[in-house]
Amino acid sequence: MKNLIPFPALIALMVISFASCRQNDNVPTNKIVPPIFNTNVSYGTMTDADGNTYKTVTIGTQTWMAENLRTTKYNDGTKIPNLTDNSEWVNATTEAYCTILNTSDPDIIHLFGCLYNWNAINSGKLAPKGWHVPTDDEWTQLIEYLGGEYVASPKLKEAGTTHWSASTAEVTNESGFTAVPGGTRCVSCSVNDEGFGGGAETGCWWSSTESNIGLAWGRVLHNSSRTVFRLENYKTNGLSVRLVKD
């Protein structure tokens, strides 16, 4: 298995094989308020298999969730296994989800959503009828509509520093996407014993597109960068999910 590479090294070396987000397991528990949406954008709603209701936003010709998915059930009512032990998570060969730092705090879960491994993505059952996990091409379509990978990040991220550990005036969330930094869970991408990293600094989202054996494409936003990173992720990693409308 490939060695894990810290996020800054990925930028410096310009490599595309992504194994971890930046090494930081912070969650701003003193700032847990709902996502801060763009009040100048018109939002819709959708509901998942758990009965959770989310804001949605139309960007170009696509309609996206404006919040991270937090369902614990598939669309057929089956429960998704919740793996809290990191050794079980890393060695899982079936679908799994977890919460940030294995929290049970409903406010944190509402804000950041859940993290899912790629087996859950590949099940084809995460999304309610009429929705699906975006393909790599659908992510590219979104980012190109917002001006391309080198400038789209500020238009996607929630503005301010309520949830991101740092921000600049150029972060506008003009798209209404309202990306929040839920981090990731992987083999050893943080000092946290349970394998969580990137909280408050990095947001990582799955696509449904495989890139190689054991790897799949995703998108990453970092608090200090204007770039939307297209990176490979180990399928055993836990990433956030945004659904897109059929």
List, edge to edge, every strand of the sheet that includes 44-47. 44-47, 53-59, 62-65, 244-245, 131-132
Is residue 243 one of the residues assigned to a domain?
A: no
> Is 190 a domain residue?
yes
**Residue 103 token pair:** 């929290």
Is 240 among the domain residues?
no
In-domain check, residue 212: yes
How many folded domains does the chain comprise? 1
Total residue count of the chain as it appears in this document: 246
CA distance 175 to 145: 10
Mean pLDDT split into 10-residue runs, the chain, 246 residues: 34 31 46 87 98 98 99 98 92 95 94 97 97 99 98 96 81 97 80 73 96 95 94 95 99
pLDDT at 189: 62
pLDDT at position 9 is 31
Residue 37 lies in a domain: yes
Residue 7 is classified by DSSP as H
Range of the domain at 134: 7-228
In a domain, 1, yes or no: no
Burial level of 217, CB count in 10 A (0-12/13-18/19+)? Answer: buried
Is 53 inside any structural domain?
yes
Q: Say what the pTM is.
A: 0.88
Both tokens assigned to 127: 């999304």
